[in-house]
Amino acid sequence: MTNDINLILEQLKIASSNPSWSTGQSHGAQQSAETIASISPVDMQKIASVGVLVNEEFQLVVEKAQEAFLVWRDIPAPKRGQVIRDFGESLRAKKKELGTLVSYEMGKSVQEGYGEVQEMIDICDFAVGLSRQLYGLTIHSERPSHRMYEQWHPLGIVGIISAFNFPVAVWSWNAALAMVCGNVCIWKPSEKAPISAIACQNLLTEVLGKHGLPDGISSLIHGDYKVGEMMTKDSRISLISATGSTNMGKAVATTVASRLGKSILELGGNNAMIISNHADLDTALPAAVFGAVGTAGQRCTSTRRLIIHEEVYDDFKEKLVNAYQQIKIGNPLDERNHMGPLIDKDATISYLNTIEEIKKQGGTFLIEGKVLDEKEYSSDCYVKPCIAEVEPTFEIIKKETFAPILYIMKYKTLEEAIHIQNNVPQGLSSSIMTTDLREAEIFLSHRGSDCGIANVNIGTSGAEIGGAFGGEKETGGGRESGTESWKAYMRRQTNTINYSKDVPLAQGIKFDLS
């Protein structure tokens, strides 16, 4: 680990020499003997270790959250917004340091690391405005001298389970909105990227302290799926927001539903871009390439399938292969590189297994994939992005592999292309490249994409704060970060006020006691 990274850890108040870090310590609980080491895929160096949560610690964390909720819910929403505003300012001050740490711990390019922190800043700004807009409706009553309205109240404790590919941004999407709505949060980050989470927690705890607020408003816990199970089974946690694989989401949904809790699920994506014969191919090319290789193909919105019209198929295929030859792979902290490593050895094994399965099913590789030389790259997690020609009927293309593997296939008609795109279990993001207005409108209509996100003349990858993020089918149906997403973090209450001297009943019912 370089001296620059050690300096960043110090600036973010993380001591890499400390053998472990556990949230439970700050609440006075006994530290767990088990630890998880965060190993950077960039150079396989250990960043730091974290203590794994045990049940005693978990009980204490939840109790502290319950106590903090009683304080936090009584603070007016605009003042809660001020706290979130100050957290956003803290992120602005540490954007470079936190973005670099995210890049080093997860392996994404440093510019993507900065972009992830900017998403956090943006959601804080969004939440500040929202703090004065938690509106309910006024409803006309059928009974004379009655007024009806609805209002929204905080749920209580919100549990957030985040994934390694966006180790901090997705937490902030949930936490900023949940907190401004009056909730407190318990966060379990991915065990593959826990140190970036500690940096965020340190910044937020400092802000809470400056406002004289209890640190239980935001708690951080570490561990594997067993810690996630503690959260999902606990009825004191009103809402679980979970980001990860479809299999993980199904387990979370089942457990939370069994206790009639609430959940927000952001799960797998298998995203396609349709490239029309009316497309501007020079616009389509960078969108397709970044969508496929950005974050080494480890975004839930990564472009995994290109569905290309037969008239432009050969032309675009040639452009695509030429563009792939220019991709620079290497240390993501070097801004000249386009792509860093996969997250760990397990990810490279999954990548290699998928390549073998493509070959078995009859796919042809335009650019072969392989694991790059460990001696040259100081890590065995760097891989070559590959392109495979496939048929739409191949089973392998219906599965999501978190790696830079791009499938390309032909289509004849727009209806055929839309059917190919929709004919997968997932439904997160989608895109069409076309200059034909009719094609664009059909793609966005009820006859078009069945995904939660549908774009025209931009790629599948990425999200903008303000637009609700999420998808359908096995993507889970959840929505985060935009429009009316805040309502998921609150409970709706309908109120009726009678200001007459009578008690008329609804629907004209008579109840005469005389």
What is the spatial distance between Cα 380 and Cα 40, in angstroms, rounded to a whole number?
11
Write phi, then psi, for 366 (nearest 5 degrees). -75, -40
Answer for the pair 257, 263: CB distance below 8 angstroms, yes or no.
yes
What is the spatial distance between Cα 347 and Cα 197, in angstroms, rounded to a whole number?
21
Q: Exactly one of 57, 116, 266, 480 is catalytic; which is it?
A: 266
| Catalytic residue flag (residue 416) | no
Q: Coil, strand or helix: which one is 266?
A: strand
Q: Which two structure tokens, joined as six digits, stand for 1?
A: 């680990």
| Catalytic residue flag (residue 300) | yes
Cβ partners under 8 Å of residue 282, min gap 6: none
What is the spatial distance between Cα 149 and Cα 503, in angstroms, rounded to a whole number?
18
Name the β-bridge partners of 433: 275
Name the β-bridge partners of 456: 432
Token match 């950005």: residue? 294
Q: What is the DSSP string of 4-58?
A: HHHHHHHHTT--TTSS---HHHHTTPPPPS-EEEEE-TTT--EEEEEEPP-HHHH
In the chain, what is the greatest distance between 2 CA atoms, to the nearest angstrom? 94
Q: Exactly one of 181, 200, 300, 451 is catalytic; which is it?
A: 300
What is the spatial distance between Cα 287 and Cα 290, in angstroms, rounded to a whole number?
5
Q: Which two structure tokens, joined as six digits, stand for 224?
A: 């594997």
Q: Please give the single-letter amino acid code of residue 446.
A: H
Token match 């020079």: residue? 282
Residues annotated as part of the active site: 266, 300
